[in-house]
Chains A and B, each alone.
Chain A
Amino acid sequence: MDQFIATISTFPTAIWTVILGVVLVYWLASLLGMVDDWHVGQHTELDMPGHGDGGDWAAKLMALGLGGVPFSLVLSIYALSGWLFSALVQQYFLWLPNLLHYLLGAGLFLVCGALAIPCTALVLRPLRGLFVTHTATSKLALVGRACKISTMSVDEHFGRAEVAANGAPLNIRVCAASPNTLVKGSPAVILDYDPALDVYAVAALEDG
């Protein structure tokens, strides 16, 4: 036990120990907060970088296999694995003289940091399913899909159609070049979307 304490409080592992300590404190705090039912503003929360926020950061995390879960969890596992490797290896360096010890320690720190990334990815893989979210479809995604005209006629300015979704159909505003065969109930295909007017350009779908 004494040896263990000595190990985690000397040079390379001490850094991991500090990081791990911070993470543990964060989790304890969040636990307390959970018990308190999260009355907003009652206690401070660590400000974390965005959870899978768009941009470079998230992309890099995804590339490393660390995406899809809260960043707090990623950091926690990373800190834990780095600390574990460092502590395990450092037990055998304690007898070394100072200079050599520091040199080896620096090397060990870097190696552990590198080794902890794939380990963390491995651990997080099964947890990723818990944190999947399905966001709503955007209007642009309807382009190319078939629809059914719901007005008597369609012209350049007026017309509505229904796009079949899983549940309730989407009621969209459509327009088409004026002499057309579109009547109520006729199938059409969505060709284009104009976000400014919120209108879709449709064309009659040939039979087939």
Chain B
Amino acid sequence: MTPVLFSIAIFGFFILCAFLLFVKFYNKVEQGKAMIVNTLRSEPEVIFTGRMVYPIIHKKEMMDISLKTIVIKRSGNAGLICNDNIRADIEVTFFVHVNKTAEDVLRVAQTVGCERASSPEILEELFAAKFAEALKTVGKSMNFEDLYLARDKFRDEIIRQIGDNLSGYVLEDAAIDYLEQTPLDRLDPNNILDAQGIRKITELTAIQHVTTNELQRNEQMQIKKKDVETTETILELQRQQAEAEARQLREITSVQAREKAESDRVTSEEHAKAELARIQAEQQIAVQQENMQREKEVAENNRKRAVAIEEEKVTRARQLEIVDREREVALQEIEKEKAVEIEKKAIADVVRERIVVDRTVAEQEEAIKELRTVAEADRTRQAIVIGAQAQAEEKLVLQVKAAEADERSAKHKAVQELTLADAMLKVAEKDSEAKKREAEGVEAMNAAEGLAAARVMLVQADAKEKDGLAHARVKIADADAIAKLGSAEAESLRLKLEAEAIGKEKLGLADVQVKAADADAVIRQGDATAHALAKRGEAEASVIQARFAAESQGLNDKFAAMQAMSDETRAHEEFRMRLDYAHIETMRSIEANVNIASEQADVLGQALSKAKIDIVGGEGDYFGKFVNSLAIGKAIDGTIGKSDTLQLALKDHLAGERDLITDAKGLLGSLGQSADELQSLSAAALLHKIGSEGTPEAKAALRNLLQTLGQNKG
């Protein structure tokens, strides 16, 4: 690997060196120059662009090959002699350059040398003689005027003369810069060529001079003539001008005079008008001044009048103000006195109020005393009243209870007998039906006989019943009349006593008496009502007795009829009744079960709806119970579906028209409300109210209430 690294380093070094060589030794050539490099070959190289030039082994030379000018001047007695022997002062510029070929450049380099070829002075030195000679030759071959005209010929001739003896240079062009005939005073008359030239010049110039002079005289003559004509014309024009001016002046003056007269006339007229206007103006001014004077006086008088009026007003106002002030003062004084009086009155009021307060205090004290006595009397009265009421109620309750007990026993007996009679009736009916079916005509006839007898009996019983009822009603009416009489008496007595009490109201004890009287009246009233009730109960009892007697009579007959039934039919009937009872019993038990089950199902349903069901118990308990509950639910549905009663009861709920829960709520709420109302009534107040000012209906209600209380106790 090391040789590779080394060789890379060395190669880099070589490349660097080669670049340095290039930078250092590459020579570039400017335009218009040629570089001649002497290499180790036989011929040097000519380069116009650029080349590597190695030192020591190469030699580099630069040469200017651009266009050079060489100027040849010949003037004075050294002027150029033309073909017609006229000398010319001439200045010719020759343009030379080197062709961009290797041979030409080398030729110039070898014959002239690079350094020398670049300087125009040396070139002039080199070629001046050649060019001058060529110029002479060419000049002698051409006329003076031809030099001007035949430029191309002149150049060609020069080139032809010079040929290619310019040692590598090429004559590009020859231009005559300055060309003039040499002045005569510079010519040498003794010189052959010059003498010929002078003669020719003189000939030519004399002719020219004569012609020139003639031309000049002609010119002068024509000028003079023109001048005279011009002067004449000018004078004529001046005359015309003067005439025109005079005429103009005359016309101007006439016009001016006319205009002046016109203007004067107009001026005077205007003056008259102005004067007139002025006079009128003055007149108007005077009139206006008079008017003004008058107006001024009038205004002055007005002013005076106004001033006097104003003064009068002022005095009046002042006096009024004085009067006002006095009145105000007097009023204020009166006001002051009045205020004082008011204050005094206030003081008196205060005193009076204090007295009133004292009086009220005394009154209040008296009232307190009175109240105490009244309250005490009240208390005693109430005690007495309550005692009397209690006694009356006790009596009443005892009587009522006794009556009720009697009534109930009678009722129960009646029911017992009625049911017995019913049963027997049914037996008899069945029996009769059986008999009908067994034996048609005879039994029917027998039954008809029996039935007719029974109907007769019934009719008789009905009549008796009605009779009893009428009797009872008469007795009830009597009792009512007695009660009303009693109450009326009590009312009249109470009113009388009250009127008396009102008369003696200022006396505290009167009230007590009145109240005592009241109590008496109440007691009497209670007695009367109790009496009436007892009477009525008796009447009712007798009515019921009569009815039941009738019924029992009917039943007796029925049982007598039933006696006629055979043993078999009775047994059958008994069996049927037993069957009915058993059926009812089973139905009831089923219903109870159904209720229990439905409640259980509700409970379970609620529990299930609320509970997260965790299925536990590996022995199928849960599932079994669940299925059981489902079965119960089914049973309930079945029951409700099959039972007509339940269908009727729950018809609206099943149809979705009513909600069972809201119904239940309503029921409970109504119960609660009624309870509240009951609570809000105070028993004592109620009693007092009804006792003092109760209508008969209210009293009846109170009775009922007391009865229920008694029942609850019992």
Bound: A84/B24 CA distance, A: 29
Pick the interface stretch among B98-106, B177-185, B242-250, B490-498. B98-106
Bound: A134/B45 CA distance, A: 10
Residue in B2, B50, B105 whose CB lies within 8 Å of A4: B2
Contact pattern, B 49-77, Cβ under 8 Å of A = 1, otherwise 0: 11110111100000000000000000000
Q: Known contacts A4-B2, A84-B4; decide if A48 and B57 are in contact (CB<8 Å).
A: yes
Pick the interface stretch among B7-15, B207-215, B673-681. B7-15
Contact A1 B2 (CB under 8 A): yes
Interface residues on chain B, number (Cβ under 8 Å): 49
Bound: A191/B713 CA distance, A: 174
Q: Does B565 contact A (CB under 8 A)?
A: no
Contact pattern, A 92-111, Cβ under 8 Å of B = 1, otherwise 0: 00000000000000000000
Q: Known contacts A24-B10, A33-B55, A84-B4; decide if A130 and B22 are in contact (CB<8 Å).
A: yes
Residues on the B chain within 8 Å of A88, using CB: 3-4
Q: Known contacts A77-B14, A171-B170; decide if A137 and B20 are in contact (CB<8 Å).
A: no
Q: Does A65 contact B (CB under 8 A)?
A: no
Interface residues of B in 600-631 (CB under 8 A from A): none
Q: Does B375 contact A (CB under 8 A)?
A: no
Contact A27 B17 (CB under 8 A): yes
Contact pattern, A 11-51, Cβ under 8 Å of B = 1, otherwise 0: 00000000010001001001101100010100001011011
Bound: A20/B4 CA distance, A: 14
Contact B55 A38 (CB under 8 A): yes
A29 to chain B, nearest CB (A): 11
Interface residues of A in 128-152 (CB under 8 A from B): 130-131, 133-139, 142, 151-152
Q: Does A63 contact B (CB under 8 A)?
A: no
Bound: A38/B27 CA distance, A: 14
Contact B14 A27 (CB under 8 A): yes
Contact B101 A138 (CB under 8 A): yes
Bound: A126/B54 CA distance, A: 21
Bound: A70/B55 CA distance, A: 13
Residues on the A chain within 8 Å of B46, using CB: 135-136
Bound: A76/B14 CA distance, A: 7
Q: How large is the interface on A (under 10, 10 to 19, 20 to 34, 35 or more residues)?
A: 35 or more
Contact A133 B45 (CB under 8 A): yes
Bound: A194/B54 CA distance, A: 35
Q: Known contacts A4-B2, A152-B153; decide if A70 and B164 are in contact (CB<8 Å).
A: no
Closest residue of chain A to B5 (Cβ to Cβ) is A4
Residue in A34, A40, A50, A131 whose CB lies within 8 Å of B24: A34
Residues on the B chain within 8 Å of A53, using CB: 39-41
Bound: A4/B6 CA distance, A: 10
Contact pattern, B 286-319, Cβ under 8 Å of A = 1, otherwise 0: 0000000000000000000000000000000000
Q: Does A189 contact B (CB under 8 A)?
A: no
Interface centre among B14, B40, B41, B49 (most CB of A within 10 A): B14
Contact B7 A80 (CB under 8 A): yes
Residue in A7, A50, A91 whose CB lies within 8 Å of B39: A50
Interface centre among A70, A136, A195 (most CB of B within 10 A): A136
Residues on the A chain within 8 Å of B6, using CB: 4
Q: Known contacts A34-B24, A40-B55, A130-B22; decide if A136 and B34 are in contact (CB<8 Å).
A: yes
Residue in B49, B54, B103, B156 whose CB lies within 8 Å of A152: B156
Q: Known contacts A33-B55, A50-B39, A70-B54; decide if A87 and B3 are in contact (CB<8 Å).
A: yes
A22 to chain B, nearest CB (A): 13
Q: Does B172 contact A (CB under 8 A)?
A: yes
Contact B99 A171 (CB under 8 A): yes
Q: Does A205 contact B (CB under 8 A)?
A: no
B7 to chain A, nearest CB (A): 4
Q: Does B561 contact A (CB under 8 A)?
A: no
Bound: A130/B21 CA distance, A: 10
Q: List chain B positions with a Cβ less than 8 A from chain A.
A: 2-4, 6-7, 10-11, 13-14, 17-18, 20-22, 24, 26, 31, 34, 39-41, 45-52, 54-57, 97, 99-105, 152-153, 156, 159-160, 164, 170, 172
27 contacts between A and B (CB under 8 A): A4-B3, A4-B6, A8-B3, A20-B10, A24-B13, A38-B55, A45-B56, A70-B21, A70-B54, A80-B7, A84-B3, A133-B49, A135-B47, A136-B34, A136-B102, A137-B101, A137-B102, A139-B104, A151-B159, A152-B156, A158-B160, A160-B159, A167-B100, A171-B172, A172-B99, A173-B164, A198-B103
